[in-house]
Protein backbone atom coordinates (compact mmCIF):
# COMPACT_ATOMS: atom_id res chain seq x y z
CA UNK A 1 0.00 0.00 0.00
CA UNK A 2 2.88 2.35 0.75
CA UNK A 3 4.18 1.89 -2.80
CA UNK A 4 0.76 2.74 -4.21
CA UNK A 5 0.56 5.84 -2.02
CA UNK A 6 3.93 7.16 -3.15
CA UNK A 7 3.13 6.36 -6.77
CA UNK A 8 -0.08 8.37 -6.36
CA UNK A 9 1.90 11.22 -4.76
CA UNK A 10 4.33 11.19 -7.70
CA UNK A 11 1.47 11.41 -10.19
CA UNK A 12 -0.14 14.30 -8.31
CA UNK A 13 3.16 16.22 -8.00
CA UNK A 14 3.92 15.77 -11.71
CA UNK A 15 0.42 16.96 -12.53
CA UNK A 16 1.00 19.96 -10.26
CA UNK A 17 4.27 20.81 -11.99
CA UNK A 18 2.63 20.57 -15.40
CA UNK A 19 -0.16 22.82 -14.10
CA UNK A 20 2.32 25.46 -12.97
CA UNK A 21 4.11 25.36 -16.35
CA UNK A 22 0.77 25.71 -18.10
CA UNK A 23 -0.05 28.65 -15.84
CA UNK A 24 3.19 30.39 -16.77
CA UNK A 25 2.55 29.73 -20.45
CA UNK A 26 -0.98 31.09 -20.01
CA UNK A 27 0.39 34.27 -18.44
CA UNK A 28 2.77 34.83 -21.37
CA UNK A 29 -0.11 34.30 -23.80
CA UNK A 30 -2.24 36.75 -21.86
CA UNK A 31 0.46 39.44 -21.81
CA UNK A 32 0.91 39.07 -25.56
CA UNK A 33 -2.82 39.25 -26.25
CA UNK A 34 -3.36 42.28 -24.01
CA UNK A 35 -0.90 44.31 -26.06
CA UNK A 36 -2.15 43.05 -29.41
CA UNK A 37 -3.82 45.51 -31.78
CA UNK A 38 -7.66 45.37 -31.89
CA UNK A 39 -9.44 44.55 -35.14
CA UNK A 40 -9.27 47.67 -37.32
CA UNK A 41 -12.51 47.15 -39.26
CA UNK A 42 -15.99 47.53 -37.76
CA UNK A 43 -18.46 45.20 -39.46
CA UNK A 44 -22.07 45.57 -38.43
CA UNK A 45 -22.84 43.41 -35.39
CA UNK A 46 -26.03 42.06 -33.85
CA UNK A 47 -25.66 41.40 -30.11
CA UNK A 48 -28.28 38.91 -28.93
CA UNK A 49 -29.05 38.87 -25.19
CA UNK A 50 -31.44 36.22 -23.83
CA UNK A 51 -33.07 37.43 -20.61
CA UNK A 52 -35.11 35.77 -17.91
CA UNK A 53 -35.92 37.14 -14.49
CA UNK A 54 -34.09 39.66 -12.35
CA UNK A 55 -30.37 38.98 -12.44
CA UNK A 56 -28.19 40.67 -9.83
CA UNK A 57 -27.73 44.33 -10.88
CA UNK A 58 -29.43 43.59 -14.18
CA UNK A 59 -29.68 47.26 -15.17
CA UNK A 60 -25.90 47.77 -14.84
CA UNK A 61 -25.24 44.63 -16.87
CA UNK A 62 -27.51 45.66 -19.73
CA UNK A 63 -26.15 49.21 -19.57
CA UNK A 64 -22.64 47.89 -20.27
CA UNK A 65 -23.87 46.02 -23.35
CA UNK A 66 -25.61 49.09 -24.78
CA UNK A 67 -22.64 51.35 -24.01
CA UNK A 68 -19.98 49.64 -26.12
CA UNK A 69 -17.29 51.67 -27.86
CA UNK A 70 -18.26 50.34 -31.26
CA UNK A 71 -19.69 52.17 -34.24
CA UNK A 72 -22.28 49.94 -35.85
CA UNK A 73 -24.20 47.43 -33.76
CA UNK A 74 -27.69 46.61 -32.60
CA UNK A 75 -28.83 44.84 -29.44
CA UNK A 76 -31.60 42.24 -29.56
CA UNK A 77 -33.06 41.42 -26.14
CA UNK A 78 -35.02 38.16 -26.14
CA UNK A 79 -37.45 36.82 -23.54
CA UNK A 80 -39.60 33.73 -23.77
CA UNK A 81 -42.65 35.51 -22.36
CA UNK A 82 -44.02 39.04 -22.73
CA UNK A 83 -44.59 38.98 -18.96
CA UNK A 84 -41.00 38.28 -17.97
CA UNK A 85 -39.88 40.31 -14.94
CA UNK A 86 -36.76 41.51 -16.79
CA UNK A 87 -38.81 43.53 -19.32
CA UNK A 88 -39.37 46.69 -17.22
CA UNK A 89 -35.61 46.91 -16.62
CA UNK A 90 -34.84 46.35 -20.31
CA UNK A 91 -37.23 49.13 -21.32
CA UNK A 92 -35.72 51.55 -18.79
CA UNK A 93 -32.14 50.88 -19.88
CA UNK A 94 -33.03 51.22 -23.58
CA UNK A 95 -34.40 54.70 -22.83
CA UNK A 96 -30.94 55.77 -21.62
CA UNK A 97 -29.53 55.12 -25.10
CA UNK A 98 -32.06 56.62 -27.57
CA UNK A 99 -29.55 56.53 -30.43
CA UNK A 100 -28.67 52.87 -29.94
CA UNK A 101 -30.60 50.44 -32.12
CA UNK A 102 -32.29 48.00 -29.78
CA UNK A 103 -35.29 45.73 -30.01
CA UNK A 104 -37.15 43.31 -27.79
CA UNK A 105 -38.20 39.93 -29.14
CA UNK A 106 -40.67 37.49 -27.60
CA UNK A 107 -39.43 33.99 -28.44
CA UNK A 108 -42.18 31.86 -26.93
CA UNK A 109 -41.50 28.37 -25.59
CA UNK A 110 -40.22 25.22 -27.25
CA UNK A 111 -40.63 21.61 -26.16
CA UNK A 112 -37.67 20.52 -28.29
CA UNK A 113 -34.79 22.61 -26.91
CA UNK A 114 -33.68 24.71 -23.99
CA UNK A 115 -35.32 28.05 -23.36
CA UNK A 116 -32.06 29.97 -23.77
CA UNK A 117 -31.24 28.23 -27.06
CA UNK A 118 -34.74 28.93 -28.34
CA UNK A 119 -34.32 32.59 -27.40
CA UNK A 120 -31.05 32.74 -29.35
CA UNK A 121 -32.57 31.15 -32.43
CA UNK A 122 -35.48 33.59 -32.45
CA UNK A 123 -33.08 36.45 -31.79
CA UNK A 124 -31.04 35.48 -34.86
CA UNK A 125 -34.19 35.35 -37.00
CA UNK A 126 -35.20 38.83 -35.81
CA UNK A 127 -31.74 40.40 -36.11
CA UNK A 128 -30.82 42.83 -38.88
CA UNK A 129 -29.88 40.84 -42.00
CA UNK A 130 -27.21 43.41 -42.77
CA UNK A 131 -25.19 42.45 -39.69
CA UNK A 132 -22.11 40.42 -40.61
CA UNK A 133 -21.37 39.16 -37.10
CA UNK A 134 -23.60 37.64 -34.42
CA UNK A 135 -22.51 38.11 -30.82
CA UNK A 136 -24.12 36.36 -27.85
CA UNK A 137 -24.10 37.78 -24.33
CA UNK A 138 -25.60 36.76 -20.98
CA UNK A 139 -27.73 39.13 -18.94
CA UNK A 140 -25.91 38.28 -15.69
CA UNK A 141 -22.52 39.42 -17.05
CA UNK A 142 -20.96 42.86 -17.39
CA UNK A 143 -18.53 43.29 -20.30
CA UNK A 144 -16.05 46.16 -20.39
CA UNK A 145 -16.52 49.00 -22.87
CA UNK A 146 -14.18 47.61 -25.57
CA UNK A 147 -15.53 44.06 -25.34
CA UNK A 148 -17.01 44.00 -28.85
CA UNK A 149 -13.81 45.23 -30.47
CA UNK A 150 -11.76 42.70 -28.56
CA UNK A 151 -14.12 39.81 -29.32
CA UNK A 152 -13.86 40.43 -33.06
CA UNK A 153 -10.06 40.76 -33.11
CA UNK A 154 -9.35 37.26 -34.43
CA UNK A 155 -12.77 36.33 -35.84
CA UNK A 156 -11.71 36.77 -39.47
CA UNK A 157 -8.62 34.57 -39.30
CA UNK A 158 -8.96 31.75 -41.89
CA UNK A 159 -9.28 28.78 -39.51
CA UNK A 160 -11.34 30.52 -36.80
CA UNK A 161 -15.00 29.54 -36.69
CA UNK A 162 -15.94 31.46 -33.54
CA UNK A 163 -14.37 33.62 -30.85
CA UNK A 164 -15.09 33.29 -27.16
CA UNK A 165 -14.37 34.85 -23.83
CA UNK A 166 -15.38 33.47 -20.46
CA UNK A 167 -16.69 34.78 -17.14
CA UNK A 168 -15.17 35.49 -13.78
CA UNK A 169 -17.31 35.63 -10.66
CA UNK A 170 -16.73 38.57 -8.34
CA UNK A 171 -18.52 37.97 -5.00
CA UNK A 172 -20.17 41.05 -3.61
CA UNK A 173 -19.61 40.35 0.10
CA UNK A 174 -17.01 37.58 0.04
CA UNK A 175 -19.04 34.84 1.76
CA UNK A 176 -17.38 31.42 1.60
CA UNK A 177 -19.77 29.79 -0.89
CA UNK A 178 -19.40 32.71 -3.32
CA UNK A 179 -15.60 32.69 -3.07
CA UNK A 180 -15.59 28.93 -3.63
CA UNK A 181 -17.76 29.40 -6.71
CA UNK A 182 -15.27 31.95 -8.07
CA UNK A 183 -12.37 29.56 -7.44
CA UNK A 184 -14.21 26.59 -8.97
CA UNK A 185 -15.13 28.60 -12.04
CA UNK A 186 -11.62 30.05 -12.32
CA UNK A 187 -10.15 26.57 -12.63
CA UNK A 188 -12.34 25.97 -15.69
CA UNK A 189 -11.41 29.34 -17.21
CA UNK A 190 -7.75 28.32 -17.17
CA UNK A 191 -8.51 25.42 -19.56
CA UNK A 192 -8.93 27.99 -22.35
CA UNK A 193 -5.82 29.30 -24.07
CA UNK A 194 -3.60 29.43 -27.10
CA UNK A 195 -4.61 26.09 -28.62
CA UNK A 196 -7.21 24.58 -30.94
CA UNK A 197 -9.15 22.63 -28.31
CA UNK A 198 -11.05 25.56 -26.79
CA UNK A 199 -14.75 25.40 -26.07
CA UNK A 200 -17.04 28.37 -26.52
CA UNK A 201 -18.83 30.03 -23.61
CA UNK A 202 -22.31 31.33 -24.33
CA UNK A 203 -22.12 34.58 -22.39
CA UNK A 204 -19.32 36.04 -24.51
CA UNK A 205 -19.01 34.53 -27.98
CA UNK A 206 -19.12 35.65 -31.62
CA UNK A 207 -19.56 34.00 -35.01
CA UNK A 208 -19.70 35.37 -38.53
CA UNK A 209 -23.20 35.25 -39.96
CA UNK A 210 -21.79 33.47 -43.01
CA UNK A 211 -20.59 30.67 -40.72
CA UNK A 212 -24.14 29.95 -39.57
CA UNK A 213 -24.62 28.00 -42.79
CA UNK A 214 -21.13 26.54 -43.14
CA UNK A 215 -21.22 25.16 -39.57
CA UNK A 216 -24.93 24.25 -39.73
CA UNK A 217 -25.22 25.79 -36.25
CA UNK A 218 -29.01 26.09 -36.15
CA UNK A 219 -29.28 22.36 -36.82
CA UNK A 220 -27.00 21.62 -33.85
CA UNK A 221 -29.18 23.90 -31.68
CA UNK A 222 -32.44 22.30 -32.81
CA UNK A 223 -32.70 19.82 -29.88
CA UNK A 224 -30.05 21.21 -27.53
CA UNK A 225 -30.06 23.00 -24.20
CA UNK A 226 -26.38 23.97 -24.46
CA UNK A 227 -25.76 26.89 -26.78
CA UNK A 228 -22.00 26.91 -26.26
CA UNK A 229 -21.09 23.20 -26.32
CA UNK A 230 -23.31 22.71 -29.39
CA UNK A 231 -21.68 25.69 -31.12
CA UNK A 232 -18.26 24.26 -30.25
CA UNK A 233 -19.17 20.92 -31.82
CA UNK A 234 -20.55 22.63 -34.94
CA UNK A 235 -17.38 24.67 -35.37
CA UNK A 236 -15.03 21.72 -34.82
CA UNK A 237 -17.01 19.49 -37.21
CA UNK A 238 -16.58 22.20 -39.86
CA UNK A 239 -12.78 21.82 -39.45
CA UNK A 240 -12.53 25.20 -37.74
CA UNK A 241 -11.58 26.08 -34.18
CA UNK A 242 -12.72 28.36 -31.37
CA UNK A 243 -10.36 31.22 -30.58
CA UNK A 244 -10.14 32.29 -26.94
CA UNK A 245 -9.81 36.03 -26.37
CA UNK A 246 -8.64 36.63 -22.77
CA UNK A 247 -9.58 40.32 -22.92
CA UNK A 248 -13.20 39.14 -23.18
CA UNK A 249 -13.19 37.52 -19.75
CA UNK A 250 -16.34 39.29 -18.55
CA UNK A 251 -17.28 39.95 -14.94
CA UNK A 252 -20.30 38.45 -13.19
CA UNK A 253 -21.28 39.95 -9.83
CA UNK A 254 -23.31 38.70 -6.93
CA UNK A 255 -23.37 36.09 -4.20
CA UNK A 256 -24.63 32.54 -3.86
CA UNK A 257 -25.71 30.25 -1.06
CA UNK A 258 -24.38 26.74 -0.49
CA UNK A 259 -27.46 25.14 -2.05
CA UNK A 260 -27.18 27.42 -5.09
CA UNK A 261 -23.49 26.59 -5.42
CA UNK A 262 -24.06 22.83 -5.29
CA UNK A 263 -26.90 22.96 -7.79
CA UNK A 264 -25.11 25.35 -10.16
CA UNK A 265 -21.79 23.45 -10.19
CA UNK A 266 -23.51 20.08 -10.59
CA UNK A 267 -25.50 21.48 -13.50
CA UNK A 268 -22.28 22.52 -15.26
CA UNK A 269 -20.82 19.03 -14.90
CA UNK A 270 -24.02 17.24 -16.00
CA UNK A 271 -24.20 19.42 -19.12
CA UNK A 272 -20.52 18.66 -19.76
CA UNK A 273 -21.20 14.92 -19.44
CA UNK A 274 -23.93 15.09 -22.08
CA UNK A 275 -22.35 17.50 -24.55
CA UNK A 276 -18.60 16.99 -24.08
CA UNK A 277 -17.97 13.49 -22.78
CA UNK A 278 -14.23 13.78 -23.43
CA UNK A 279 -13.91 16.84 -21.20
CA UNK A 280 -16.03 15.15 -18.53
CA UNK A 281 -13.71 12.12 -18.53
CA UNK A 282 -10.66 14.36 -18.43
CA UNK A 283 -12.10 16.10 -15.37
CA UNK A 284 -12.52 12.72 -13.68
CA UNK A 285 -8.94 11.68 -14.45
CA UNK A 286 -7.62 15.03 -13.27
CA UNK A 287 -9.52 15.45 -10.00
CA UNK A 288 -9.74 11.91 -8.58
CA UNK A 289 -5.97 11.43 -7.97
CA UNK A 290 -5.68 14.86 -6.30
CA UNK A 291 -8.57 14.29 -3.89
CA UNK A 292 -7.56 10.68 -3.24
CA UNK A 293 -4.02 11.77 -2.39
CA UNK A 294 -5.16 14.46 0.05
CA UNK A 295 -7.64 12.16 1.81
CA UNK A 296 -5.08 9.36 2.05
CA UNK A 297 -2.28 11.69 3.17
CA UNK A 298 -4.38 13.40 5.83
CA UNK A 299 -5.57 10.01 7.07
CA UNK A 300 -1.99 8.79 7.35
CA UNK A 301 -1.01 12.00 9.12
CA UNK A 302 -3.78 11.66 11.72
CA UNK A 303 -2.91 7.99 12.28
CA UNK A 304 0.82 8.71 12.72
CA UNK A 305 0.17 11.54 15.14
CA UNK A 306 -2.32 9.48 17.14
CA UNK A 307 0.12 6.56 17.29
CA UNK A 308 2.99 8.79 18.36
CA UNK A 309 0.95 10.36 21.15
CA UNK A 310 -0.65 7.12 22.43
CA UNK A 311 2.67 5.28 22.61
CA UNK A 312 4.60 8.31 23.79
CA UNK A 313 6.73 7.60 20.72
CA UNK A 314 9.75 9.87 20.27
CA UNK A 315 9.85 8.97 16.57
CA UNK A 316 7.34 11.65 15.67
CA UNK A 317 9.93 12.85 13.14
CA UNK A 318 8.55 10.14 10.83
CA UNK A 319 5.68 12.53 10.23
CA UNK A 320 8.02 15.08 8.64
CA UNK A 321 8.35 13.43 5.18
CA UNK A 322 4.57 13.18 4.94
CA UNK A 323 4.16 16.84 5.88
CA UNK A 324 6.72 17.81 3.23
CA UNK A 325 4.85 15.76 0.62
CA UNK A 326 1.53 17.39 1.50
CA UNK A 327 3.21 20.80 1.50
CA UNK A 328 4.67 20.31 -1.99
CA UNK A 329 1.30 19.32 -3.48
CA UNK A 330 -0.46 22.18 -1.71
CA UNK A 331 2.24 24.67 -2.77
CA UNK A 332 1.96 23.71 -6.45
CA UNK A 333 -1.82 24.14 -6.40
CA UNK A 334 -1.42 27.49 -4.62
CA UNK A 335 1.07 28.72 -7.23
CA UNK A 336 -1.36 27.92 -10.00
CA UNK A 337 -4.15 29.66 -8.08
CA UNK A 338 -1.91 32.69 -7.63
CA UNK A 339 -1.22 32.82 -11.38
CA UNK A 340 -4.98 32.83 -12.07
CA UNK A 341 -5.56 35.54 -9.46
CA UNK A 342 -2.73 37.65 -10.91
CA UNK A 343 -4.14 37.20 -14.42
CA UNK A 344 -7.58 38.47 -13.42
CA UNK A 345 -6.09 41.43 -11.55
CA UNK A 346 -4.35 42.51 -14.77
CA UNK A 347 -7.56 42.11 -16.80
CA UNK A 348 -9.92 43.68 -14.26
CA UNK A 349 -8.12 46.41 -12.31
CA UNK A 350 -11.53 47.88 -11.47
CA UNK A 351 -12.22 44.77 -9.36
CA UNK A 352 -9.10 45.22 -7.23
CA UNK A 353 -11.06 45.53 -3.98
CA UNK A 354 -12.90 42.25 -4.51
CA UNK A 355 -9.80 40.38 -5.66
CA UNK A 356 -7.65 41.68 -2.81
CA UNK A 357 -10.31 40.71 -0.29
CA UNK A 358 -10.82 37.19 -1.66
CA UNK A 359 -7.21 36.32 -2.58
CA UNK A 360 -7.16 33.45 -0.09
CA UNK A 361 -9.85 31.60 -2.05
CA UNK A 362 -7.72 31.38 -5.18
CA UNK A 363 -4.55 30.39 -3.32
CA UNK A 364 -5.76 27.96 -0.67
CA UNK A 365 -9.05 26.39 -1.76
CA UNK A 366 -7.75 23.96 -4.41
CA UNK A 367 -8.47 20.85 -2.25
CA UNK A 368 -11.99 22.13 -1.54
CA UNK A 369 -12.54 22.98 -5.22
CA UNK A 370 -11.47 19.47 -6.23
CA UNK A 371 -13.67 17.91 -3.54
CA UNK A 372 -16.64 19.91 -4.82
CA UNK A 373 -15.86 18.74 -8.35
CA UNK A 374 -15.79 15.10 -7.20
CA UNK A 375 -19.21 15.66 -5.61
CA UNK A 376 -20.46 17.10 -8.93
CA UNK A 377 -19.01 14.16 -10.87
CA UNK A 378 -20.69 11.65 -8.56
CA UNK A 379 -24.02 13.44 -8.98
CA UNK A 380 -23.55 13.36 -12.75
CA UNK A 381 -22.93 9.59 -12.66
CA UNK A 382 -26.43 8.97 -11.33
CA UNK A 383 -28.43 11.83 -12.82
CA UNK A 384 -28.89 13.60 -16.13
CA UNK A 385 -31.58 15.94 -14.88
CA UNK A 386 -30.96 19.64 -14.29
CA UNK A 387 -33.05 22.62 -13.21
CA UNK A 388 -32.29 25.90 -14.89
CA UNK A 389 -34.22 29.10 -14.33
CA UNK A 390 -37.51 27.50 -13.48
CA UNK A 391 -37.37 24.70 -16.06
CA UNK A 392 -36.46 21.05 -15.46
CA UNK A 393 -34.59 19.29 -18.26
CA UNK A 394 -34.15 15.51 -18.49
CA UNK A 395 -31.17 15.10 -20.79
CA UNK A 396 -31.54 11.82 -22.66
CA UNK A 397 -28.67 12.64 -25.02
CA UNK A 398 -27.23 15.72 -26.72
CA UNK A 399 -29.98 15.33 -29.35
CA UNK A 400 -32.89 14.51 -27.07
CA UNK A 401 -34.26 16.44 -24.11
CA UNK A 402 -37.49 16.13 -22.13
CA UNK A 403 -38.67 19.47 -20.74
CA UNK A 404 -40.75 19.94 -17.60
CA UNK A 405 -41.64 23.41 -16.36
CA UNK A 406 -40.94 23.84 -12.68
CA UNK A 407 -41.79 26.42 -10.07
CA UNK A 408 -38.25 26.58 -8.74
CA UNK A 409 -36.24 29.48 -10.08
CA UNK A 410 -32.59 28.95 -10.91
CA UNK A 411 -29.83 31.02 -12.36
Query: 252 and 105: one domain?
Result: yes
Residue 269 located in a structural domain: no
**Distance between CA 109 and CA 171 in Å, rounded?**
32
392-411 pLDDT per residue, tens? 999 999 989 999 865 444 34
Q: Is residue 206 part of a domain?
A: yes
**Based on the domain organization, do 248 and 353 belong to the same domain?**
no
The torsion angles phi and psi of 9, rounded to 5 degrees, stand at: -60, -40
Pair 251, 328 in one domain: no
| CA proximity to 395, closest of 377, 262, 235, 404 | 404
* 308 and 362 part of one domain: yes
* Same domain, residue pair 122 and 158: yes
Predicted TM-score of the model (pTM): 0.90
Expressed as residue numbers, the domain containing 191 is 40-260
Do 74 and 7 share a structural domain? Answer: no
Q: Is residue 219 situated within a structural domain?
A: yes
pLDDT per residue over 320-369, tens digit each? 888 889 999 999 999 999 999 999 998 999 999 999 999 999 999 999 99
Residues 234 and 308 occupy one common structural domain: no
Whole-number Å distance between alpha carbons of 170 and 68: 21
Residue 310 pLDDT more than 60? Answer: no
| pLDDT at residue 361 in the model | 94
Pick 303 or 72 by higher pLDDT: 72
326 within a domain of the structure (yes/no)? yes
> Which uninterrupted H or E stretch holds 7?
helix 2-34
Per-residue H/E/C for 209-262 = CHHHHHHCHHHHHCCCCCHHHHHHHHHHHCCCEEEEEEEEEEEEECCCCHHHHH
Structure confidence at residue 321 (pLDDT):
83
- Position 33 scores a pLDDT of 76
Per the prediction, the chain carries an average pLDDT of 91
Look at the chain and report how many structural domains it folds into. 2
> Is the residue at 411 inside a domain?
no
Report helix, strand or coil for 354: helix
Q: What is the CATH number of the domain that holds 233?
A: 3.90.550.10
Are 305 and 256 found together in one domain? no
292 belongs to a structural domain: yes
pLDDT at 194 over 90: no
Return the ∠ at Cα 150 (arms to 147 and 153), rounded to 5°: 150
64 in any annotated domain? yes
Confidence of residue 281 (pLDDT cuts 50, 70, 90): very high
How many of the other CB atoms lie within 10 Å of CB of 346? 12
Phi, psi of 397 (to 5 degrees): -165, 180
Amino acid sequence: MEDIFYLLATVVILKGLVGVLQGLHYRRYLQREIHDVPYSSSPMVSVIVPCKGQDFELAQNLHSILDQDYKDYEVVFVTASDKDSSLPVIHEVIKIFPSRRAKIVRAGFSEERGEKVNNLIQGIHQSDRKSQVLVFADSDCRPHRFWLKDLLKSLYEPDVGACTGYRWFFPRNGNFASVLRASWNGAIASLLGNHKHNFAWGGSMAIQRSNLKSTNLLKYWEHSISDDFSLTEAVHNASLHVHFEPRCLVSSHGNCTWSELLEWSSRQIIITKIYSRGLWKLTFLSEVPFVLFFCWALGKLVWLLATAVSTVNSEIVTVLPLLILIGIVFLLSSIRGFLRWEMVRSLHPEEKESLDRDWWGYLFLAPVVSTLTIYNLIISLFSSTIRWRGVCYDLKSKDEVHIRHDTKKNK
